[in-house]
Structure 1
């Protein structure tokens, strides 16, 4: 998808009429031939039936990436809209070209407050008709910002009146000749024309616009569909993709600058935010955003906003903080062939290292803890961390996270019953347990004596010895039964909402004998952490758990919990194409 503009057109309309003041580029070749036409045999005769019945071929107004087929008069009449349509989005499709702008109505500084003192200014971008809705929205936003800046400068010093008079004079002086000479003159004399020229070149090259209107107002703009292409190797990144990533931003994530901090001075000056400078002074890829916010004395929400700002402008990306437990693997499309320009670039940064050798260490998923020898010098560990940072900046590596899936049976999850059905079954189970209770011999004899139905007469000595013997046996049975019932009670209570088949398989695990382990397992399972949507680092943060606790739990319940490694989908779009 092509996101570059075909042309930028400046049109004005006032009491003297409408006029196209400037367009860039103005070096073009007229082309009114139908699109998709093939060269015909000059000796063939036309078929009248085809001429009468077949529809006419569509006309193309794009020639070698430039706008063609429109005269200045036609464009001025198209874009000089009525006052009722001002300060609104303007969009017009003609053949294979889509025009986008934001007509702005100005009150001229040197005129009275009446109809003759109004001027309409419209900065229009010509795009390909197939441009996506997000691209059209971005260009409309740029046209709107341009109109606001021009309205302010006209109110402050009459800048628009001065520039339009110079442009009109250049057109009038060169009317007898071609309009290209007039555009050349305007480009030399008018700073507004120079701004439009620079805007076009910036949009086509980097997607970042930074101009100063009348040397007073700084206009900065980012076209994300273009600006992310250089570091993602031609991938089109839509604003909605960036928004989806930033909505998944968590305090345990980290910020990775794509440029050295020393080279961010121009951007921070352009941004004009002192909090951004304060955050960059405390920046480190081994800090998570929560720690970065505390070190920079900023709120966490504000750090999120600054991170979103840097990511949108392709100055940074989101990663997990670099630590020894991180596991990396080579990106599927890492450009590490022998003729890759990254080889020389890596050698310039690390003269004593080779990129192919450094990347080959991560041909299989490898953690930094496996690469760092505790006996090696700290400088070697620092060199390894810097190498990892460089390869992450150039999207040569991606990080793998451990995800957990709950598989209680050979068939996977069992469809759980409704809660009312489970409560009903548990109440029935308690009734069955109570009905199976058998009274002891002493209680039975006591009941018979009270009711007067005893048929066997016993001496007091024989009765007392029998009571003592039966009481001791019953105490042993009661103690043994109470332990088993207590164990079964807390197991049943913790897993009451689990299906019967799942409970049966879980009870076979020895770890269920420990209430703490079973309680933690049941809690994490109920919260959905074992459905493959949360990696270990996220569970640790959300539940305030240590890695050792979680790894021990996975080991104890390995019969029903399986693990697999993959990347974090929240930041996957910034890892590789």
Structure 2
């Protein structure tokens, strides 16, 4: 399982009526880093001091941005996330860490002026990834603001979090009075870090909003999707579309994001749709207020159906079929294929993982443990070593059960991108056509350009003088 590498932390910042911007809560993955001791050097008037605060973002070191984020205290984070205006995307970068969010103002509120959900990311994150997090921050913040207007949800959670901070401040002052002078700075720094982690852990136990933000971070790290309920009332579902992109995709992340967000305009009636998860699991994961048309589409979906035939079978307009298909592809629940027919030709993908110890081999055994035709993944792929039609793979002795297993096997291999389809393209060329305009067009587009003669004309050659 691949985790989200760009996400560092999630933050909740608020701007109260009587105070400036304040970091109220943050959650990050707890990791322990060894502090690197700086080598002892002797100062000379000719030495050059290198400013380490302006190191370029590291591409190879995934933990460099996390170590940089640990050096930011709460005051610095509050300044970096201060809103310049309300209702706009906010983006601030310091070294190899970038903060993205969407600040929302609160009107006619006695305690708070604005708030925002911020995500700390690696600075080398793609522009499409940053935009996805900003839109996610906007949707989460909008739901929280609606609950604040309906039931004062944010004010209640704000009071809980502030009380936790005040309680720990009192305990910290008591320890400061009883602290032994000349205590080790390293030990004091570790105690402060442990105290902060204790504060945030207490916030999660006492505040529903803090627990929700923690769950958002975990879900984004694991699956790249969130499906949360704000104040047990409003459902918020978001996803990072770049997480649904296959690892062997030749396109750049930004290009794939553009295709996924505009997938509806790329669809054709002769395309097919293949679910990448079990249909029953997909129906179970849909919210209660989901579209009934989507449920109808999933129940009638077949890998041998084109989108136009799906429209006929379900009595759903083709334009709506396009919208539902684009939605499933955007969320990584389905992929676009050509409908499976007898004339299709499938071969092994050049990027296929065919190792016996791989995760796909184990998953194949679990999925097809009761089949007798192809007990292992390697035997199933060996059937498609030659570029022959799907009909030629079918034996005359195959019954309906064998045909169904063979179709399910092809669907599974296509779903995990182990097979690719071979296409033949035929071009009709008419070089002897009598139409002069066609001849000119054919000469300009199809015929190779005439090469310059290698030998000059005799009149152009200067005679040699004796």
TM-score (norm 1): 0.65
- Rounded to whole Å, the distance in 2 between the matches of 1:58 and 1:305 is 46
- Rounded to whole Å, the distance in 1 between the matches of 2:275 and 2:52 is 54
2:315 to 290, 297, 309: 297
- The aligned counterpart of 2:451 is none
1:262 to 277, 280, 285: 280
- Rounded to whole Å, the distance in 2 between the matches of 1:172 and 1:26 is 24
Contact 2:53 2:95 in 1 (8 A): no
Deviations 1:377-404 (A, max 9, x none): 2332222111111111111100111112
- Rounded to whole Å, the distance in 1 between the matches of 2:139 and 2:441 is 64
- The aligned counterpart of 2:101 is 101
Deviations 1:344-364 (A, max 9, x none): 322222232222111111112
1:396 to 415, 418, 421: 418
- The aligned counterpart of 1:24 is 27
The structural deviation recorded for 1:280 is: 1.0
Secondary structure at the aligned position of 2:287 is classed as helix
The structural deviation recorded for 1:39 is: 5.7
Deviations 1:466-504 (A, max 9, x none): xxxxxxxxxxxxxxxxxxxxxx9xx63xx442217969x
Question: Is 2:221 the partner of 1:182?
Answer: no
Cα separation, partners in 2 of 1:365 and 1:210, compared to 1, 3 Å: same
- The aligned counterpart of 2:380 is 358
- Rounded to whole Å, the distance in 2 between the matches of 1:59 and 1:402 is 52
- The aligned counterpart of 1:173 is 167
Cα separation, partners in 2 of 1:26 and 1:329, compared to 1, 3 Å: closer
Cα separation, partners in 2 of 1:215 and 1:57, compared to 1, 3 Å: closer
- The aligned counterpart of 1:273 is 291
- The aligned counterpart of 1:377 is 399
- Rounded to whole Å, the distance in 1 between the matches of 2:253 and 2:288 is 25
The structural deviation recorded for 1:245 is: 5.5
Cα separation, partners in 2 of 1:259 and 1:2, compared to 1, 3 Å: closer
Flag structure 2 segments of 5+ consecutive residues without an equivalent. Answer: 58-62, 173-194, 448-466
Where does 1:525-540 land on structure 2 (aligned, <5 Å)?
none
- The aligned counterpart of 1:49 is 46
- Rounded to whole Å, the distance in 1 between the matches of 2:311 and 2:99 is 44
Size of the aligned set, in residue pairs, is 410
- Rounded to whole Å, the distance in 2 between the matches of 1:273 and 1:209 is 19
Cα separation, partners in 2 of 1:359 and 1:13, compared to 1, 3 Å: same
- Rounded to whole Å, the distance in 1 between the matches of 2:78 and 2:143 is 22
The structural deviation recorded for 1:243 is: 4.4
More helix by share: 1
Cα separation, partners in 2 of 1:51 and 1:105, compared to 1, 3 Å: same
- Rounded to whole Å, the distance in 2 between the matches of 1:230 and 1:141 is 24
Where does 1:2-401 land on structure 2 (aligned, <5 Å)?
3-18=5-20, 19-25=22-28, 27=30, 40=39, 42=40, 44-51=41-48, 58=54, 63=64, 65=66, 67-82=69-84, 85-107=85-107, 116=110, 118-175=112-169, 176-177=171-172, 178-228=195-245, 238-243=256-261, 246-269=264-287, 272-351=290-369, 352=372, 353=374, 354-374=376-396, 376-401=398-423
Cα separation, partners in 2 of 1:257 and 1:350, compared to 1, 3 Å: same
Contact 1:7 1:125 in 2 (8 A): yes
Cα separation, partners in 2 of 1:118 and 1:22, compared to 1, 3 Å: closer
**Higher Rg of the two aligned structures:** 1
- Rounded to whole Å, the distance in 1 between the matches of 2:230 and 2:286 is 20
The structural deviation recorded for 1:248 is: 2.6
The structural deviation recorded for 1:205 is: 1.0
TM-score (norm 2): 0.79
Contact 1:228 1:235 in 2 (8 A): no
Cα separation, partners in 2 of 1:171 and 1:118, compared to 1, 3 Å: closer
Secondary structure at the aligned position of 1:344 is classed as helix
Cα separation, partners in 2 of 1:56 and 1:372, compared to 1, 3 Å: closer
Where does 1:473-492 land on structure 2 (aligned, <5 Å)?
492=434
Secondary structure at the aligned position of 1:99 is classed as strand
The structural deviation recorded for 1:291 is: 0.6
- Rounded to whole Å, the distance in 2 between the matches of 1:159 and 1:95 is 35
- Rounded to whole Å, the distance in 1 between the matches of 2:33 and 2:15 is 26
Deviations 1:141-170 (A, max 9, x none): 011111111110001100000000110111
- Rounded to whole Å, the distance in 1 between the matches of 2:288 and 2:253 is 25
CA RMSD of aligned residues (A): 3.3
Flag structure 1 segments of 5+ consecutive residues without an equivalent. Answer: 410-487, 504-527, 532-577
- Rounded to whole Å, the distance in 2 between the matches of 1:124 and 1:73 is 15
- Rounded to whole Å, the distance in 1 between the matches of 2:28 and 2:4 is 17
The structural deviation recorded for 1:228 is: 3.4
- Rounded to whole Å, the distance in 1 between the matches of 2:441 and 2:217 is 67
Moved over 6 A (4+): 28-31, 230-235, 500-503
Deviations 1:186-217 (A, max 9, x none): 11011100110000011111101111111111
Contact 2:263 2:326 in 1 (8 A): no
Contact 1:30 1:69 in 2 (8 A): no
